[in-house]
Amino acid sequence: MRGVAGRIYVPDARGRYRPYRALWVREGRVAGLERGFGEGETVFPGFHDAHVHVWKVGQLLTDLLDLRGVGSLEGLKGLLEERDRLLPPGAWLLGRGWNEALLGAWPTREFLDRVLPHRPVVLTRTCAHIHVANTRALEAAGIGPDTPNPPGGEIRYREGLLLERAFGFLEKAMPRRTVEDYQRYVLAGARHLLAHGITSALEPGADPLLLEAYRRLDQEGRLPLRVSVLGVVRPDGEEAAYPLPEPYRSERLVIAGVKFFADGGLSGASAAVSRPYREVGGKGVLRLGAEELFELALPAHERGFFIATHAIGDVAILEVLKAYEKLYQAKPLPLRHRLEHFGLPGPKALALARALGVWVVPQPIFLEELRENFLRYLPEAFLPWCYQFARMERAGLALAFSSDAPVVREVSPLKGALAAGRPLMGRGIPLERALFYYTRPEASALPPARLWPGERADLVVFDRDPLAHPEEARVVRVEVDGVAVFAA
């Protein structure tokens, strides 16, 4: 048995942090706690990111051109030309992270054709719901000016933009990833999360190849943190569904849920909303209505999988809640389904989500990194409701916070918790409460991680108390099962 001394914060049953001066670990589990205020380093339960694309974080750290933060089309041009010099002839140039609010304009097919006419180029917007391609890439995918829009997607050939499910056409022509690629990405992403104190995460959407990569990593003992993985059922660009994944559960890996998309992104004005967006117009894209989602999700529900559905706009949120209500009526089961993002819930949605007891998984860091997009596109009436966590708390919702990286650059739960206190309008929530919502792995079918006696010793150590010094506190050590997996 070994001891950990310092200032140790452990949440009680109501989510209030209580101070302890010492913690004992035996065989990877918490064996005991000693009350009181200690001095020195500060210990928290390991954080849980309830919605983060682990493999995509790793892909950006390794293979993709990272466009997050690029501030002009000229700057984008320079990055593309620099990457072009490193690639062999004919190879696809793939990047992610552009944001028109930072660039000052939308990148277009014409722009990409001017910069790089000789190789296929595909650049994914930061939200991953909008993609821009040059003519070479569109031709390789068989997309022309008369290609019809797929259900739940839109092709804007003149601009070279593909929205939502239309990207599936392009993806079929792009270089295929292997299990080994996925393993490399997952490990790179996992190391990045651990460095920010995240000891467990939910991977929100995996095709059969990614599921296999996770299973192999776990069986080989190489998965350094706990992950719950959602299987994708309906891939973009195809009407045929993937089979339901085989359930899987070990100490580090859980496969017990499936993922659907009901609409697009709010920062790119493609989430399904009831009022037209400012500047760009339109009311977004509703990818799945209540009836279709119910039909698609029923087999998974009946098999005991929890359902997690991307729903951001007020229209999409209500459609998903109606589908969930019908699922529970069709077959009452002790499953807690989830709504991913939940960006613009109105009073009716808040009440229904509470009544159904579903998990709600929003991203506070959006209020920091995508703030300008929200202020630019959202109608005035939506601003008091946009990611308004105080309203969600008052409604009694079951909240689990997340980053949705690499949609954003920042994965730190501490930075996200600070952002939760700064909504577009109205009152935020205190730092302590926001941090608690980053310690709820049970929202992802993973075991609780509160540092209570008998629980797994998953913990994060800060150099100082983040409740007192949130801007200065830094992660210095992270442990999973009582074993150090990161040290600064």
Residue 372, CB-side half-sphere exposure with 13 Å CA sphere: 8
- Beta bridge partners of residue 112, listed in sequence order: none
* Whether residues 319 and 423 fall in one domain: yes
Give per-residue pLDDT as tens, 333-380: 999 999 999 999 999 999 999 999 999 999 999 999 999 999 999 999
* Whether residues 101 and 41 fall in one domain: no
- CATH number for the domain that contains residue 461: 2.30.40.10
Q: What is the mean pLDDT of residues 292-312?
A: 97
* Whether residues 255 and 321 fall in one domain: yes
Q: What is the mean pLDDT of residues 444-463?
A: 96
- CATH number for the domain that contains residue 77: 3.10.310.70
* Whether residues 262 and 355 fall in one domain: yes
Q: Which of 148, 173, 198 is the last residue of a domain?
A: 173
Q: What pLDDT, on the 0 to 100 scale, is given for residue 402?
A: 98
Please state, for a pLDDT cut of 90, what percent of the chain lies above it: 91
* Whether residues 219 and 312 fall in one domain: yes
- The token pair at 277 is 């967006």
Q: Is 52 a member of any domain?
A: no
Q: Is 385 a member of any domain?
A: yes
Asked if 50 and 193 count as a contact pair (C-beta separation under 8 A), the reply is no
Give per-residue pLDDT as tens, 108-124: 999 999 999 999 999 99
* Whether residues 408 and 468 fall in one domain: no
Confidence of residue 309 (pLDDT cuts 50, 70, 90): very high
Give per-residue pLDDT as tens, 376-426: 999 999 999 999 999 999 999 999 999 999 999 999 999 999 999 999 999
DSSP assignment of 60-118: HHHTSEE-TT--SHHHHHHHHHHHHHHSPTT--EEEEEE-HHHHSS---HHHHHHH--S
* Whether residues 209 and 124 fall in one domain: no
Confidence of residue 241 (pLDDT cuts 50, 70, 90): confident
* Whether residues 473 and 460 fall in one domain: yes
* Whether residues 127 and 30 fall in one domain: no
Residue 423 neighbours by CB distance under 10 Å: 22
Answer yes or no: is pLDDT of 321 > 80.
yes
* Whether residues 126 and 7 fall in one domain: no
Q: Which of 139, 173, 207 is the last residue of a domain?
A: 173
Note if the pTM is more than 0.85. Answer: yes
Q: Is 51 a member of any domain?
A: no
Q: Is 249 a member of any domain?
A: yes
Q: Which of 173, 199, 215 is the last residue of a domain?
A: 173
Which residues form the domain of 461?
Answer: 2-46+455-487
Give per-residue pLDDT as tens, 177-187: 999 999 999 99
Residue (of 219, 242, 217) closest to 231 by Cα position: 242
Distance CA 255, CA 202 (A): 10
Rounded to the nearest integer, the mean pLDDT of the chain is: 95
Polymer length of the chain: 488
Confidence of residue 239 (pLDDT cuts 50, 70, 90): low
Q: What pLDDT, on the 0 to 100 scale, is given for residue 25?
A: 96
Q: Is 449 a member of any domain?
A: no
Number of structural domains in the chain: 3
Q: Is 396 a member of any domain?
A: yes
Confidence of residue 4 (pLDDT cuts 50, 70, 90): confident
- CATH number for the domain that contains residue 228: 3.20.20.140
Answer yes or no: is pLDDT of 236 > 80.
no
* Whether residues 66 and 142 fall in one domain: yes
Residue 227 neighbours by CB distance under 10 Å: 26
Answer yes or no: is pLDDT of 235 > 90.
no
Q: What pLDDT, on the 0 to 100 scale, is given for residue 443?
A: 98
* Whether residues 206 and 335 fall in one domain: yes
Q: What pLDDT, on the 0 to 100 scale, is given for residue 324?
A: 98
Q: What pLDDT, on the 0 to 100 scale, is given for residue 430?
A: 97
Distance CA 307, CA 314 (A): 19
Q: Is 333 a member of any domain?
A: yes
Q: Is 450 a member of any domain?
A: no
Q: What pLDDT, on the 0 to 100 scale, is given for residue 40?
A: 87
